[in-house]
């Protein structure tokens, strides 16, 4: 979708044609935001199917915003991050500014309208100077939020991404696979044995929990506010008078837990050769706040636990789709998750 349309009516029709709920409410919100002016509009979908860029031009001026459709609970968390929690930490300018909100009348979806940060993601330009700026921001977020008075409220609206997340995801994944085995749904020949192999793998991971739990108690450090989805596509680094300035977007998976959850995600997005110096940069950044990271073997176990928790989570949803909808893609997705587990186990 990349066409010039008129805000007066075609925007609504374009969103409705894309099957988007709440298109009328979003149109009214944008019309109010843009003062109801008749201007040329370009609308196109970004990488995520629920995210659009809207570019408005007229009378020599141009403005670009990003509109994103969220589930109500994720929208509430994202709004609190932007309007309450990050400002309380002195980091209110380190996310995209939320400029408007619209909800569909059925209460099933909420649209957020953000200032457009452009295309300068860390994924697009992973230069060392930009990586350092991103690492420094993540370290600042973690150290400022730990033991901060805002943390109880954050915990109220989000998830615990520490050891409870690991245990609940592995248990739920095992239960889902057992339900699939009892459902009578036939596994296609090309995926023969896949659900059973995943179940046995997850049972073994769960049996290993007593070895992992003491490391969390001893070495994970204090709970803090976590971004929860710290891929490089969610990190924007722009130039400022003081040098590269990082900001984080897409906070709907945020939570509370040990820093290792965010750090394991972030490091996994870089080549193995770059990870030691990135981790050392983070170590130096948190040391300025008086923190000491766990030892390398302890960190490795914390990182491994976070990865296995995320992989277990990705087992649950394809199985539910198979059980509820007989979704064709379910077994394909489970095969991909099995490959992730296999790759993890091949690591030295």
- How far CA 302 is from CA of 136, 162, 229, 257, 272, in Å, comes to 21, 9, 17, 12, 17
Q: How far apart are CA 69 and CA 219, in angstroms?
A: 38
Domain covering 128-346 in this structure, CATH number: 3.90.1200.10
Do residues 75 and 93 touch, judged by C-beta distance below 8 A?
no
- The segment(s) of the chain belonging to CATH 3.30.200 are 2-115
pLDDT of residue 79: 97
Do residues 146 and 221 touch, judged by C-beta distance below 8 A?
yes
Distance from the Cα of residue 4 to its chain's centroid: 31
* DSSP characters over 186-213: PPPGGGTTHHHHHHHHHHHHHHTHHHHH
pLDDT of residue 61: 66
- The segment(s) of the chain belonging to CATH 3.90.1200.10 are 128-346
Tell me which DSSP letter residue 108 carries. Answer: S
pLDDT of residue 4: 60
Longest dimension (CA), the chain: 66
- How far CA 256 is from CA of 146, 153, 227, in Å, comes to 9, 10, 9
Which range of 32-36, 71-75, 104-108 scores highest in mean pLDDT? It is 71-75
The per-residue pLDDT of the chain, averaged, comes to 92
From the CA atom positions of the chain, what is the Rg in Å?
A: 22
Q: How far apart are CA 66 and CA 64, in angstroms?
A: 7
**First CA to last CA distance, the chain:** 45
Q: What is the pTM of this model?
A: 0.92
Domain covering 2-115 in this structure, CATH number: 3.30.200
Tell me which DSSP letter residue 85 carries. Answer: I
Q: How far apart are CA 229 and CA 159, in angstroms?
A: 13
Stretch 48-73: mean pLDDT: 82
Q: How far apart are CA 234 and CA 227, in angstroms?
A: 10
Provide the pLDDT confidence category of residue 135 given band limits of 50, 70 and 90. Answer: very high
Stretch 270-294: mean pLDDT: 96
């Amino acid at each position: 979708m990349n066409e010039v349309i008129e805000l007066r009516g075609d925007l609504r029709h374009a969103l409705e044609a894309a099957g988007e709920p709440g298109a009328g409410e979003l149109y009214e919100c944008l019309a109010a935001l843009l003062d109801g002016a008749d201007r040329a509009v370009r609308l196109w979908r970004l990488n995520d199917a629920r995210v659009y860029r809207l570019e408005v031009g007229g009378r020599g001026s141009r403005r670009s915003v990003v509109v994103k459709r969220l589930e109500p609970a994720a929208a509430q968390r994202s709004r609190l991050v932007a309007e309450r929690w990050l400002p309380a930490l002195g980091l209110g300018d380190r996310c995209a500014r939320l400029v408007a909100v619209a909800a569909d009348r059925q209460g099933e979806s909420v649209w957020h309208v953000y200032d457009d940060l452009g295309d300068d993601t860390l994924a697009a330009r992973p230069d060392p100077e930009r990586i350092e700026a991103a690492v420094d921001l993540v370290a600042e977020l973690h150290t400022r939020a730990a033991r901060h008075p805002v943390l109880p409220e954050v915990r109220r609206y989000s998830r615990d991404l520490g050891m409870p997340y690991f245990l609940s995801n592995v248990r739920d994944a095992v239960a889902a696979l057992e339900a699939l085995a009892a459902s009578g749904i036939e596994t296609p020949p090309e995926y023969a044995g896949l659900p059973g192999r995943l179940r046995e793998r997850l049972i073994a991971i769960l049996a290993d929990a007593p070895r992992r739990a003491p490391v969390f108690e001893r070495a994970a450090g204090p709970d803090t506010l976590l971004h929860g989805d710290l891929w490089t596509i969610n990190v924007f680094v722009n130039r400022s008078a003081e040098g590269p300035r990082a900001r984080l977007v897409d906070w709907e998976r945020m939570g509370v837990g040990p820093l290792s959850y965010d750090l394991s995600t972030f490091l996994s997005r870089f080549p193995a050769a770059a990870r030691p110096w990135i981790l050392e940069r983070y170590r130096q950044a948190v040391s300025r706040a008086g923190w000491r990271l766990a030892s390398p073997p302890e960190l490795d176990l914390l990182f491994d636990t976070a990865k296995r928790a995320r992989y277990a989570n990705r087992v649950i949803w394809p199985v539910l789709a198979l059980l509820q909808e007989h979704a064709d893609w379910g077994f394909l997705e489970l095969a991909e998750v099995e490959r992730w587990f296999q790759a993890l186990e091949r690591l030295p």
